[in-house]
Amino acid sequence: MVESSSSCAIETINLNMTYRSGKVDVPALQNVNVSVERGEFVAVVGPSGCGKSTLLHLLGGLMQPTGGSVILDGIDISKLTDSERTAIRRKKIGYVFQRFNLLPTLSAKGNIELAKKIQGNGYLSPNGVDQILDMLGLANKINFRPAELSGGEQQRVAIARAVINRPAIILADEPTGSLDSRNSRIVLQVLRDLNEKLSQTIVMITHDPEAASTANRVIEMKDGQIIDAPSVLYCEPDFENSVGNP
Amino acid sequence: MENLIAANIRSRPTRTFISILAVALGVTLMLVIGGITNGWLNEYLGRTIAVGADFIFQPPGSSVFYAFSDAELPIKLANKLQEVPGISAVTPVLSKFSMAQFGLIFGIDLESYSKFPGRLHIISGKPSLKDDEVIVDQLYAETKKLSPGMPLTILNHNFTVTAICRPGSVVRVFAPLKTLQKLIGTPDRVTIMFMKAEPKSNVDAVFHELRRRFPDNSIIQASDPNLLLADTRLPGLKEFRITLIIVSMLLSFMVILLAMYTTIFERTREIGILKSLGASRRFIVGMILKESAIICCLGALLGIGISEIARKIIVTKFPTQPVAIGLNDLILGLILGLLAGTMGAIYPAYKAARMDPVRALTYE
């Protein structure tokens, strides 16, 4: 493993990803160079098929790039084995998905505890689960199964699951893509709060300009490449009052 | 992880129930059929020993299971055996398996048979075996509701019950030797000869003398249960037991394999979620194996319970049918049920652990 003392939470260097479709090579990412500082909240925007999800999967070590490097918290994860990337993911990454991806058989609390158990290799340290559920306004829903929760509540449980182990970075893949505008605002405010109050680094993929405006910086992609220089957005929407009151 | 396993088991009650039932069926099959086999064997050997003979003399290549043997020994051989030094008593016996009675019938000469320690202990009626008379044991009489003086049809021949003897004799029905020979169509032929050594004789020396004089015949030292149980004298028993175990294990193995394989496809997305959370391959394999182990354990315990119920029903409905299921058999059933199911889950678990997380997460 290569470690650096960079202030970057995550960075890609000439990142390439090519899929093989039959006998045809389909490039999904071409020489992508992205750098996200610790404590930053970055939105990645772009049209469908531009490579956003591929980038997110590579950042989280779910896939291995065909070229270039991904440096996560000082470690080049692109050269690691599947098992090593899994271990890194366990310790340093929190995922939030568009479709929430909660385990349907477990309660809200069970889903969050599971993340703690996996992080602890099967050992559960229950500290923090109730607190995080309380913080996200879900204290009275801890024993509810995903099917018994609204979309916004499910996504807040998914966020709680992502942050419970204090990961170096949260990767959010269209976190508001399946939500109505009210619940979208609540979820975005939760992410914003995590970033501001806990200095949580967040990389979020989105189609939604309003969601993108929540971030400190927006990266635009097209045809597998970064087409826009980093731009700083100053957006302070007043969502505080809506958190915990779906 | 235990919560996740319990939740998975609870969330698919039909699949879980059918899997448990299938494992239980395999274990029940093994325990009950094995128990019946063992019961027969134990009773058979116990009754043979109960005759009190020192030696059993049979035609060449015979088994201790008289039912499998034909009437091949000339009855005159009894006189030659009587001449062997150290032999005090010889009684010829013709055995016949009756499908209608589902048991053995012994054709005996009551006088010579009564010289053996395991002679018939009459508890009611008079000890007589002439022409069309039969003596049955108490259990048989209770099952068939017989008492002395009542008619009994065996091998399409009408007999009269003359006496009821104490249970524990070598068989449950005794007929006159000559009558049985006529019925079977083997006059002057018998199946076996029981022999008793003189009280102060050297049994081993007598045995060797018998072997020397009759080298082609099968001679068993009946007083030694280990010799009676020797596999070479019980043709196919070992193979039968192995086949029974394999069939039972295969049943559990295939059901669990199918159930867990289907489960893996059902849970593809969930496995993707676990992988995105950083669950290692070991974690996922452990989850699948633990789940199948719980199902198999419950199945094996249910199988043990069903076997015990089946045993009680069999011995109540058919008192002459012994079913021997010992603690060792129960432990074996539990272990094999657990082992077969766990083996069945290995491939699905391996497949789940090797799933590509991105594909799994986008699986519809």
Q: What is the DSSP string of A115-133?
A: HHHHHTTT----TTHHHHH
Beta bridge partners, A72, equal A10, A75
Distance CA B355, CA B264 (A): 10
The answer on pLDDT for A241 being more than 50 is no
CB A211 within 8 A of CB A43: yes
- Band of pLDDT at residue A134, cut at 50, 70 and 90: confident
Q: E strand or H helix at A34, and its extent?
A: none
Q: What is the pLDDT of residue A33?
A: 94
SS3 (DSSP) at B12: coil
Q: Does the distance separating the beta carbons of A118 and B283 come in below 8 Å?
A: yes
Question: Which among A43, A48, A77, A84 has a CA at the least distance from the CA of A60?
Answer: A77
Looking at the complex, report in whole angstroms how far the Cα of residue B259 sits from the nearest Cα belonging to chain A. 18
| Residues in B touching A90 (Cβ below 8 Å) | 277-280
- The burial class, CB within 10 Å (0-12 / 13-18 / 19+), for B155 is middle
In tens, the pLDDT along A155-166 reads 999 999 998 888
- Band of pLDDT at residue A242, cut at 50, 70 and 90: very low
Looking at the complex, report in whole angstroms how far the Cα of residue A30 sits from the nearest Cα belonging to chain B. 20
Report which DSSP code applies to A240. Answer: G
| Residues in B touching A146 (Cβ below 8 Å) | none
The closest CB to that of B273, out of A89, A93, A103, belongs to: A103
Q: What is the pLDDT of residue B225?
A: 63
Q: What is the pLDDT of residue A229?
A: 53
Residue of A nearest to B287 (CA): A122
Interface of A with B (CB under 8 A): 57, 60, 62-63, 83, 86-91, 93, 95, 97, 101-106, 110, 113-115, 117-119, 121-122, 161
| Residues in A touching B270 (Cβ below 8 Å) | 103-104
Best residue of A55, A56, A57, A62 to probe chain B, by most B CBs closer than 10 Å:
A62
Rounded to an integer, the average pLDDT of A1-22 is: 79
Beta bridge partners, A20, equal A25
Q: What is the pLDDT of residue A239?
A: 40
Q: What is the pLDDT of residue B229?
A: 61
Q: Does the distance separating the beta carbons of A122 and B280 come in below 8 Å?
A: no
Q: What is the pLDDT of residue B224?
A: 66
The closest CB to that of B11, out of A105, A119, A122, belongs to: A105
Instruction: Name residues of chain B where pLDDT drops below 50.
Output: 231-232
In tens, the pLDDT along A89-115 reads 999 999 999 989 999 999 998 999 898
Beta bridge partners, B122, equal B165
Please name the residue ranges forming H helices in A31-99: 52-59, 82-92
Rounded to an integer, the average pLDDT of A223-243 is: 54
Q: Does the distance separating the beta carbons of B281 and A83 come in below 8 Å?
A: yes
A31-A32-A33-A36 Cα dihedral, nearest 10 degrees: -160
- The burial class, CB within 10 Å (0-12 / 13-18 / 19+), for A43 is buried
Q: Which residue has the higher pLDDT, A183 or B41?
A: A183
Q: What is the pLDDT of residue A175?
A: 93
The closest CB to that of A86, out of B269, B270, B275, belongs to: B275
Q: Does the distance separating the beta carbons of A115 and B3 come in below 8 Å?
A: no
In tens, the pLDDT along B279-316 reads 999 999 999 999 999 999 999 999 999 999 999 999 88
Kindly state the greatest CA–CA separation across chain B. Answer: 90
| Residues in B touching A118 (Cβ below 8 Å) | 274, 277-279, 283
| Residues in B touching A62 (Cβ below 8 Å) | 275-276, 357-358, 361
Q: What is the pLDDT of residue B240?
A: 82
Looking at the complex, report in whole angstroms how far the Cα of residue A80 sits from the nearest Cα belonging to chain B. 14
* pTM as predicted: 0.73
The closest CB to that of B7, out of A95, A110, A121, belongs to: A110
Rounded to an integer, the average pLDDT of A49-54 is: 91
Phi and psi torsions of B253, nearest 5°: -60, -50
Q: Does the distance separating the beta carbons of B280 and A83 come in below 8 Å?
A: yes
CB-CB neighbours of B189 under 10 Å:
17
Residue A53 token pair: 């999800």
The answer on pLDDT for A118 being more than 50 is yes
Best residue of A96, A118, A174 to probe chain B, by most B CBs closer than 10 Å:
A118
Q: What is the pLDDT of residue B69?
A: 60
Q: Does the distance separating the beta carbons of B277 and A114 come in below 8 Å?
A: yes
Q: Per-residue DSSP letters for A153-186? A: HHHHHHHHHHHTT--SEEEEESTTTTS-HHHHHH
Q: What is the pLDDT of residue B323?
A: 87
Q: What is the pLDDT of residue B60?
A: 78
Question: Which among B264, B286, B277, B262 has a CA at the least distance from the CA of B5?
Answer: B286
The closest CB to that of A122, out of B273, B283, B361, belongs to: B283
Best residue of A29, A103, A116 to probe chain B, by most B CBs closer than 10 Å:
A103
User: Token pair 């703690």 is at which residue?
Assistant: A116
| Residues in B touching A113 (Cβ below 8 Å) | 3
Q: What is the pLDDT of residue B38?
A: 83
In tens, the pLDDT along B20-72 reads 998 899 899 889 988 988 887 777 777 777 788 888 888 876 665 655 566 67
Quick one: what percent of chain A has pLDDT higher than 70?
A: 87
| Residues in B touching A86 (Cβ below 8 Å) | 275, 278-281
Q: Does the distance separating the beta carbons of B8 and A101 come in below 8 Å?
A: no
Rounded to an integer, the average pLDDT of A203-216 is: 91
Domains of chain A and any CATH numbers: 8-241 (3.40.50.300)
Distance CA B105, CA B18 (A): 44
